[in-house]
Structure 1
Amino acid sequence: MAIQKDQIVSIEYEVNDGTKVVDSNIGGLPLVFMYGRGQIIPGLESAITNMSIGDKADVVVKAEDAYGEYDAAAKQEVPKDQFAGIDLEVGMTLYGQGEDGGTVQVVVQEIGNENVIIDFNHPLAGKELSFLVIVNNIREASAEELMSGIPAENQHDDCCGTDSGTGCGC
């Protein structure tokens, strides 16, 4: 059965940026997502469209279909005092809150005496990615999953299933 919109898909993958493996879940927990909802990079999602359970493929995803082209203008010089209490290092990834309230990831590019240059590009922006992908499972979504867009495998019970209200950062 080929994958169709709003089905729950489970994959194992390994991704290489042309020089090294940058992420892999082979032999670990699969990545579970709802197909057609933009929950994985567009190029990988379109590449697995005609795959079925058990299929394995090597897929190349162009930068524009992954994390986008590198934007040299997506750098910002910020006063160093905004990083008080953080032991900054070049190449360090930091997370903050964007204007829309969402999480923003930046990479420290340069550290000066008074200012820090941060890069808002995704670390894989501008890179063609090579994937080894294996489709582990394809199933129909439940009514609740269709409404929420979140596969049951990715939904978390209150405090990891405990009734006490403790644990899991609660």
Structure 2
Amino acid sequence: MNIAADHIVRFHYTVFEDGGEQLETSRERGEPLAVMIGRGGLIAGLENALIGKSEGDTFEVTVRPAEGYGELREGFKQRVAKKYFRDAARLKPGMQTVLSTSQGPRLVTVLKVGASVIDVDLNHPMAGKTLKFNVEVVDVREATEEEKAHGHAHGPGGHQHD
């Protein structure tokens, strides 16, 4: 079965900064990542590279910032009251944390910690980077009606409902 919209794909990946070091791998978690194609769960460059592939395929893809995490935006910083951070007491400059926003959770990088506020960089940590992915497609299947209604994969590597 070839990967297309509304298919659930489980895959392992390792991502490198282009010409540089390994940034992340799914193999550390043990389980492959599970996503529903066409629902915005992946950066565009990786999702587009998966389309048409099938179980057992391995490939490399280079993703430029425009189809990845976007260009690095200079000055994209904000001062936020400590009360909006779950883990404010342990945060230090350079650490990453998730900040709840009106548009949903956002990964931010701590720049400075003050007495009552924290300055954060709102750029995604991989913004502005050209990324190289090594991908192994573990399996592909059609999404169930429930998964389509929820807009995401269920089960191992996907979302677990109670």
TM norm structure 1: 0.80
Task: Say whether 1:32 aligns with 2:34.
Answer: yes
Partner of 1:64: 66
> How many residues are treated as equivalent by the alignment?
157
Deviations 1:82-125 (A, max 9, x none): 8796244220112222134x212221124578875310000000
Spell out the pairing of 1:100-111 with structure 2 (5 A cutoff): 100=103, 102-111=104-113
Alignment partner, residue 126 of structure 1: 128
Q: Structure 1's 12 and 116: CA in aligned 2 closer, same or farther, altered over 3 A?
A: same
**Distance in structure 1 (CA, Å) of the matches to 2:21 and 2:63:** 15
Encode CA deviations 1:56-97: one digit per residue, 9 max, x unaligned.
Answer: 001100011111000113112457898796244220112222
Q: Give the equivalent residue in structure 2 for 1:43.
A: 45
Q: Among residues 78, 95, 102, which one is paired with 1:92 in the alignment?
A: 95
The structure having more radius of gyration, on CA atoms, is 1
Aligned match of 1:165: none
C-alpha distance in structure 2 between counterparts of 1:6 and 1:81, whole Å: 39
Q: Which residue of 1 aligns with 2:23?
A: 22
> SS at the partner of 1:57?
strand
Corresponding residue SS for 2:47: helix
Give the superposition deviation at 1:156: 2.1
Sequence identity (%): 36
Instruction: Output one character per residue of 1:21-70: Cα deviation in whole Å (capped at 9) or x when no partner.
Output: 11111372011111111111110000111211111001100011111000
Supply the distance in 2 between the matched residues of 1:57 and 1:130 (Cα, whole angstroms).
Answer: 10
SS at match of 2:147: helix
Residues in 2 aligned to 1:67 and 1:9: alpha-carbon distance in whole angstroms: 21
Give unpaired runs (5+ residues) of structure 2: none
Q: Which AA in structure 1 matches 2:151? A: G
What is the TM-score with the length of structure 2 in the denominator? 0.84
Give 5+ residue unaligned stretches, structure 1. Answer: 159-170
